[in-house]
Amino acid sequence: MPFLEQKWGDHRRQLNPARRYSSQREFEADWVSALRRRYGLSQEALAVLASVSVTTVQNWENPRSVKNIAGHNQDRLRDIERDLWIKAHVTLLEPCPPHIRAMYDLMSANKDSSAQGLAEYLVQMMDHQDPERARLLHWAGLAYSIADPASAKAREYEHAALEALTQAKGPLAAAIENEVLGAQFEDLLNLPEGRARTDKGRDIMTALEGLYARDEQPAYLWNALEVACKAPLAAMDTFRLVQRLTEALGEERVRQRILNEDTYQSARVAFAQPASVN
């Protein structure tokens, strides 16, 4: 069964879908448009990836178009989505252990169940004190979320990876931090507003604060503040992080960065009142 036709069938079986469609054609149009938005692609860029004309992409995104997307093009879109997801979430930082490269190869070859089986085995076998455990848990989560981003198993492993991250020690810790946090933050940005996005944001923020407690690098607090702004998290989290940054760097330095960088726009409320005069 072609990819989008299968997706349409899955959607119709949902009891309370986030959006209802009058036809498969309308569903297809919205799916293609959402794919482009999610990865910041123009219609021209998607046309190049799919080896079709821009007019064809425009027809795909037109819910009033008479013809459904051809089966071979549906499958091509499946492969494009997978490739874009991997590029956004997966980083093969060196030194890359053989078991990580093996999972990457399986995922790239659309062998998700094999990647999941390998991940489950490795998680059971690896010592809990191994500094590579955070990376392995992260990849175990990827093996599940590539097939189903809403997978409970994926979320379980992602949460465990963040917990293990703050306990990691040794020369690979910095590389693992970048690999794990980069992908998890990318995932956060692609989640719709709601409970799942808020929960993920809180997990990432907590991990970053744990890393700051370990290394006392202000960059971790700045990253935590960005997460709090983008999730978004409660105002009390934003105020707490601003306060911790102020204690570490001084009020004026923190104020200037927050007021001048759009990333922290929602944190500007912390400086809504004029600075006190001594």
Contact 63, 26 (CB under 8 A): yes
Domain extent, residue 239, equals: 211-278
HSE-up of residue 188 (Cα within 13 Å, Cβ side): 25
Residue 200 maps to a domain: no
User: So what's the pLDDT on residue 179?
Assistant: 82
In this structure, the number of other CB atoms found within 10 A of the CB of residue 24 comes to 17
User: So what's the pLDDT on residue 170?
Assistant: 62
Residue 152 maps to a domain: yes
Q: ∠ CA(8), CA(10), CA(13), 5° rounding?
A: 110
Residue 100 maps to a domain: yes
Residue 154 CA: distances (Å) to CA of 27, 80, 96, 210, 255: 26, 22, 22, 22, 38
Q: Which of 190, 224, 249 represents a domain boundary (last residue)? A: 190
> Could you tell me if 49 and 100 lie in one domain?
no
Residue 74 maps to a domain: yes
Residue 196 maps to a domain: no
Contact 21, 11 (CB under 8 A): yes
Residue 37 maps to a domain: yes
What CATH number is given to the structural domain containing 63?
1.10.260.40
Number of domains making up the chain:
3
> Could you tell me if 173 and 224 lie in one domain?
no
Residue 269 maps to a domain: yes
126 CB-near residues (< 8 Å, 6+ apart): 132, 133, 136
Segments of the chain with pLDDT less than 50: 275-278
User: So what's the pLDDT on residue 154?
Assistant: 92
Q: What is the pTM of this model?
A: 0.75
* Dihedral sign of CA atoms 238, 242, 247, 248 in order: positive
> Could you tell me if 49 and 98 lie in one domain?
no
> Could you tell me if 112 and 185 lie in one domain?
yes
> Could you tell me if 11 and 62 lie in one domain?
yes
Q: Which of 37, 62, 81 represents a domain boundary (last residue)? A: 81
Q: Which of 81, 114, 142 represents a domain boundary (last residue)? A: 81
Nearest 5°: phi and psi at 69? -65, 135
User: So what's the pLDDT on residue 171?
Assistant: 60
Residue 198 maps to a domain: no
Rounded Cα gap, residues 75 and 127, in angstroms? 40
> Could you tell me if 220 and 266 lie in one domain?
yes
